[in-house]
Amino acid sequence: MIRPCSSHGLLDRVLRVLFPGMVFLLLNGCASVSYYGQLASGQLQLLRAREPVAEVIADPQRDGQLRAHLAQSQKARTFASAHLHLPDNQSYRLYADIGRPYVVWNVFATAEFSLTPHNHCFPIAGCVAYRGYYSQSAARGEAAIQRLQGMDVAIGGVEAYSTLGWFDDPIISSMMHWGDERLTTLIFHELAHQQFYVQDDTEFNESFATFVEQEGTRQWRASRGLTPDIGAQMRQRDQFIQLILDTRTRLEQLYAQPLAAEQMRQRKAAEFERLRSDYRALRDSQWAGDKRYDAWINQPLNNARLLPFGLYDQWVPAFAALFRQVDGDWLRFYAEVEKLGGLPVEERKAALRVLAGS
C-alpha cells in the first residue's frame, strides 16, 4: 500500500503518466512495448516502496544511522522551500529502500565522430540525451546493441531522478551512500527540475538544476554558520570538469574537419591521451598525487563518456550571471529562467551565451 496518497489519487496520477506512454506503445511496436514496460514497472515498484520519512525517523527498530541521516535531510528539505522557494510538496519527505546502488542506469550514445548525443523522446519528459533502464543488465544490453551499430557508448548509474511533479518523489536508498551535504545537494537539484523544466533541452535543464544545487548549498552552509565549501575537493572537481570541457572543445573542432575516417580516428585517440596526460600532470603538480579521479580516467574513453559533463555544466556560468543580475532574488530568478525557457531554442542558446560571457 502506498501511504502518502489515497488510492483514487494514486490511480489518477498513474493514468496521467502511463496513458500517453500506452498510446505511444501502440504506435511503435514490440521494442517500444518492452522498453516502456520496464519503465512503468520500475516506477511502480518505486512508488510501492515509499513510506513517510517521519515514520522511519520515529521507528526505533530502524537503523540509527539511517534515521539520523534522514532527520538531517528534512532540515534541508524545509530550507529548500522556505529559503530557495523550491516546490513545497511531499517530494523528499518520503523514503524508499530499493536494495540496489542506483535507481536507474542511463545509456549515452554518440556517433563515432560527434559529440551530439543520440536523443530519445518520451511522452512526458520530451527528448533527452540518454535512455534509462531500471536494470543494469538491460542497460548493458542496450549499450551492446549501440556499439554494434558503430556508436560510442557509456553507461552511468543514477542515484535519483525527478518525475517533474507527476509523483511525490522519495529520498531513495541509493542516495544514502553520501554524507548529509551530498544528500542535501541532490534534493536541491531534483526539486529544481520540478520548479522548471523545458522539454527537449537537457543542457538547459541540467545546468539550471546544477546551479540551483550549487547556490542552494552555499546558502544552506551559510545558514548553518559554515564557511563556503572552497576546499581542495571542490577545486579539484572544478579543475577536472574543466579538463573534460576543454577536451570536448578540441574534439568538436576536430570533428568539423574534412578528414578521412582513419586519420580522424587517430587524432581522436590522441586527444583522449592528451586528456589523460593533462590530468596526471594536474594531479601530480597541484593535487599532491590525490588519485580520486584515476579510476574514471583510466577506463576506456570515448565521446559518450564526456556527455554528462557538458550536459550538467555547460550553462552553469550563464545561470550564475542571471542570478547576480536579479540580486540573488530566487523568485525573480525563476521568472527570468522561465522567460529563457520560453524562447525558441536558438534564441535561448544565444541568450545563454551572452549571459555566460557577462
- Could you tell me if 206 and 238 lie in one domain? no
Query: Does 216 map to a domain?
Result: yes
- Could you tell me if 209 and 252 lie in one domain? no
pLDDT tens column, 88-140 = 999 999 999 999 999 999 999 999 999 998 888 776 667 778 899 999 999 99
What the block records as the C-alpha cell of 292 is: 580520486
- Could you tell me if 34 and 155 lie in one domain? yes
The answer to whether 50 and 168 are in contact (CB under 8 A) is: yes
Residue 8 pLDDT greater than 90, yes or no = no
Choosing from 223, 243, 272, the residue where a domain stops is: 223
- Could you tell me if 238 and 204 lie in one domain? no
- The pLDDT assigned to 6 comes to 37
- The pLDDT assigned to 5 comes to 37
- Could you tell me if 254 and 207 lie in one domain? no
pLDDT tens column, 184-196 = 999 999 999 999 9
Residue 27 is which amino acid?
L
Query: Does 348 map to a domain?
Result: yes
* Domain interval for residue 142: 7-223
Q: What would the 3-class secondary structure string for the chain be?
A: CCCCCCHHHHHHHHHHHHHHHHHHHHHHHHHHHHHHHHHHHHHHHHHHCEEEHHHHHHCCCCCHHHHHHHHHHHHHHHHHHHCCCCCCCCCCCEEECCCCCCCEEEEEEECCCCCCECCEEECCCEEECCEEECCHHHHHHHHHHHHHCCCEEEEEEECCCCCCCCCCCCEEHHHCCCCHHHHHHHHHHHHHHHHCCCCCCHHHHHHHHHHHHHHHHHHHHHHCCCCCCCCHHHHHHHHHHHHHHHHHHHHHHHHCCCCCHHHHHHHHHHHHHHHHHHHHHHHHHHCCCCCCCHHHHHCCCCHHHHHHHHHHHCCHHHHHHHHHHCCCCHHHHHHHHHHHHCCCHHHHHHHHHHHHHC
Average pLDDT value for the chain: 88
CA-CA distance, 272 to 275, in Å (whole number)? 5
Query: Does 2 map to a domain?
Result: no
- Could you tell me if 133 and 206 lie in one domain? yes
pLDDT tens column, 165-182 = 888 999 999 998 878 888
Query: Does 14 map to a domain?
Result: yes
- The pLDDT assigned to 4 comes to 38
- Lowest-confidence segment of 159-163, 204-208, 275-279 by average pLDDT: 159-163
pLDDT tens column, 302-318 = 999 998 886 677 899 99
User: How many separate domains does the chain show?
Assistant: 2
- The pLDDT assigned to 160 comes to 86
Q: What is the mean pLDDT of residues 257-263?
A: 97
Query: Does 192 map to a domain?
Result: yes
Choosing from 197, 223, 249, the residue where a domain stops is: 223
Q: Please calculate the CA angle 208-301-273 and round it to the nearest 5 degrees.
A: 110
- The pLDDT assigned to 336 comes to 98
Query: Does 1 map to a domain?
Result: no
- The pLDDT assigned to 230 comes to 54
pLDDT tens column, 128-166 = 788 999 999 999 999 999 999 999 999 999 988 888 888
pTM above threshold 0.75: yes
What the block records as the C-alpha cell of 64 is: 540509527
CA-CA distance, 204 to 74, in Å (whole number)? 28
Query: Does 103 map to a domain?
Result: yes
- Could you tell me if 208 and 253 lie in one domain? no
Residue 3 pLDDT greater than 70, yes or no = no
- Could you tell me if 204 and 303 lie in one domain? no
Q: What is the mean pLDDT of residues 22-28?
A: 41
Residue 115 neighbours by CB under 8 Å, 6+ apart: 248, 251, 252, 255, 303, 306, 307, 310
Query: Does 151 map to a domain?
Result: yes
- Could you tell me if 73 and 195 lie in one domain? yes
Percent of the chain having pLDDT more than 70?
89
Question: How do beta strands 94-96 and 171-172 pair?
Answer: parallel
- The pLDDT assigned to 7 comes to 34
Residue 271 pLDDT greater than 70, yes or no = yes
Q: Predicted confidence band at 327 (pLDDT cuts at 50, 70, 90)?
A: very high
> Quick one: CA dihedral 339, 340, 346, 350, positive or negative?
positive
Question: How do beta strands 120-122 and 126-128 pair?
Answer: antiparallel
The answer to whether 211 and 356 are in contact (CB under 8 A) is: no
- Could you tell me if 209 and 314 lie in one domain? no
- Could you tell me if 172 and 201 lie in one domain? yes
Q: Predicted confidence band at 335 (pLDDT cuts at 50, 70, 90)?
A: very high
| Between 240 and 14, the higher pLDDT residue | 240
Choosing from 177, 202, 223, the residue where a domain stops is: 223
pLDDT tens column, 208-246 = 999 999 999 999 999 998 876 656 677 898 899 999 989
- Could you tell me if 48 and 183 lie in one domain? yes
What the block records as the C-alpha cell of 101 is: 546502488
Residue listed under C-alpha cell 483514487 = 8
